[in-house]
Amino acid sequence: MASGRLHCPGHLTKALGRNSPYAHPQERASHLIWLHWTLTGVFAVLGLGCILLTVMQLPGIWVMLLLALGVQLADVAWVHGADTDAGWWALGTGLVLAIIAEILEGTAGAAGAKVGGGTRRAMWGGFIGGLVGAILGTPLIPIPVLGTFIGAIVGAFAGALIGETTGKHSPSVAEALKPAAGAAAGRAVGTVFKMAIGVAIWLILIAGLLIR
């Protein structure tokens, strides 16, 4: 972050007095720099918590992006911007990666069911079941963070199994186990990849805030 030259007109300096922080532009700039480092540090800690939220099927990545945007806007507003546009580039890159992560997680269960030889019913069942399972898993499985993750996997399995065994010419339960297992595995892999992308976004955002 650039220290920024905070100009204070001479007549304003006299009016404010020697003890006013505005009477000492360099001192005020130093305070603002420390404020930026503090906000960046707080963001780094909260960003880790946001990554854990992704495991709970919550929009942790989007919360992380909003936090980084807040720090960036504070930087622009209080310290008159930075020497580079690294912060904005980091936010843009993070936004693109966040969209990719959402698509990947949302379609992973359905893709797993398809790989397992399932029909469209199994694919839709795995997708819907994963969402429902994530919601129900939080209160029904009292394990912090993992409860929601387990619920999503179980829900994807159950949803794909129900979807595959309903309708005309549906296979037996034994035959439907393969696409159901594929949906569950796909959901798990999708969540893991989303968390990995979340870590990448976290690192990119921190780098963007540090390059000044």
Mean pLDDT per 10-residue interval, the chain, length 212 residues:
43 42 54 75 91 85 93 74 72 95 86 86 89 86 82 91 84 86 91 93 90 72
Q: What is the pLDDT of residue 110?
A: 85
Q: How far is CA 109 from the centre of its chain?
A: 19
Q: How many CB atoms lie within 10 A of CB 186?
A: 28
Q: How far is CA 50 from the centre of its chain?
A: 6
Q: How far is CA 92 from the centre of its chain?
A: 13
Q: How far apart are CA 46 and CA 53, in angstroms?
A: 11
Cβ pair 163, 110 in contact under 8 A: no
* Segments making up each domain of the chain, as ranges: 101-198
Q: What is the pLDDT of residue 167?
A: 74
Q: What is the pLDDT of residue 20?
A: 45
Q: How far is CA 15 from the centre of its chain?
A: 48
- Nearest 10 degrees: CA dihedral of 79, 72, 81, 21? 0
Residue 166 phi/psi, 5-degree rounding, is -110, 160
Q: What is the pLDDT of residue 86?
A: 76
pTM above 0.85, yes or no: no
- Nearest 10 degrees: CA dihedral of 23, 6, 43, 210? -130
Residue 127 phi/psi, 5-degree rounding, is -65, -50
In eight-state DSSP terms, residue 167 is S
Crossing angle (nearest 10°) for helices 60-79 and 86-115:
170
Q: How far apart are CA 22 and CA 193, in angstroms?
A: 49
Cβ pair 116, 182 in contact under 8 A: yes
Q: What is the pLDDT of residue 88?
A: 87
Q: What is the pLDDT of residue 44?
A: 92
